[in-house]
Amino acid sequence: MNNNEGLSTSRRRLLATVGTAGAASVAGCGFQAPRADDSEDGPAESPTSRVDGLERYPRVRVGSVDELSDGDVETFSYPLDGTENFLTRIGGEAWGGVGSDGRIVAFSGICTHMGCPVQGQVKPAQEMAGPCSCHYTSFDLSKGGLVVSGAATTDLPQVRLDVEDGDIYATGIDGLVYGYRNNLRDGTPIDDATEE
């Protein structure tokens, strides 16, 4: 047997050993196939069962065009209870803005970097939110919550708005709210009802 045959045989044994070890580690990774008696529904009080019927964003009244003056910042929960957002009328027209002048916008009040609040740092006249208190990220409210500076790499989620008979309604969210895998899960949904 020449030296090349010995290397080739050793290489094949090594690859076979590595392949077997890899397959064994994948097989033992803890995956369990669902059992026949497993139900996808959680207990009646579980977060999963509470939001099973929530397949779309609710339409919720969050303010009034006439009552929102320049510089005002109103807070509201949407789409889940405790998910804080802010509503404001900025200095100029905004992407996704509503009202006759397109200046009314709403955004998540939580920075997309580490979840620190930005709603206390909203400057409507400057069309900015931030800097967030943790890592100094600022967002442009006229451009869909675009990151202007700081550590965040994801824009601030914008709440979609609609105006009907002078009332402002939240109808959805563009972007993922920090800390959630799904904006409509893992909490108590806000009902399609008036929010003040």
| CA dist., res. 160 & res. 172, Å (int) | 5
Q: Is the pLDDT of residue 32 over 50?
A: no
Q: Band the pLDDT of 51: cuts 50, 70, 90.
A: very low
What CATH number is given to the structural domain containing 152? 2.102.10.10
Q: Band the pLDDT of 176: cuts 50, 70, 90.
A: very high
| Residue count (the chain) | 196
Number of domains in the chain: 1
Is residue 19 a part of any domain in this protein?
A: no
Answer whether 0.75 is exceeded by the pTM: no
The more confidently predicted of residues 36 and 88 is 88
In this prediction, residue 133 carries a pLDDT of: 86
Is residue 144 a part of any domain in this protein?
A: yes
In this prediction, residue 188 carries a pLDDT of: 87
Q: Is the pLDDT of residue 54 over 70?
A: no
Q: Is the pLDDT of residue 123 over 50?
A: yes
Is residue 157 a part of any domain in this protein?
A: yes
| CA dist., res. 138 & res. 40, Å (int) | 41
In this prediction, residue 7 carries a pLDDT of: 55
Count of CB atoms situated within 10 Å of the CB of 140: 21
| CA dist., res. 19 & res. 28, Å (int) | 14
The residue segments making up the domain with residue 71 are 59-174
Is residue 64 a part of any domain in this protein?
A: yes
Strand order in the sheet with 138-140: 122-123, 128-129, 138-140, 146-149
Mean pLDDT value across the chain: 80
- pLDDT per residue over 125-152, tens digit each? 999 999 988 988 999 999 999 999 989 9
The more confidently predicted of residues 175 and 19 is 175
| CA dist., res. 162 & res. 150, Å (int) | 31
CB 145 within 8 A of CB 157: yes
Dig out the tokens for 142 from the structure: 């006229």
pLDDT mean over 40-55: 49
Of residues 104, 100, 79, the one with CA closest to residue 91: 104
pLDDT mean over 13-18: 61
Q: Is the pLDDT of residue 90 over 80?
A: yes
In this prediction, residue 46 carries a pLDDT of: 47
16 three-state secondary structure: helix
Is residue 168 a part of any domain in this protein?
A: yes
CA atoms within 13 A on the CB side of 74: 22
Q: What is the DSSP letter of 80?
A: B
Of residues 65, 59, 61, the one with CA closest to residue 89: 65
Is residue 195 a part of any domain in this protein?
A: no
In this prediction, residue 191 carries a pLDDT of: 76
Is residue 167 a part of any domain in this protein?
A: yes
Is residue 17 a part of any domain in this protein?
A: no
In this prediction, residue 29 carries a pLDDT of: 47
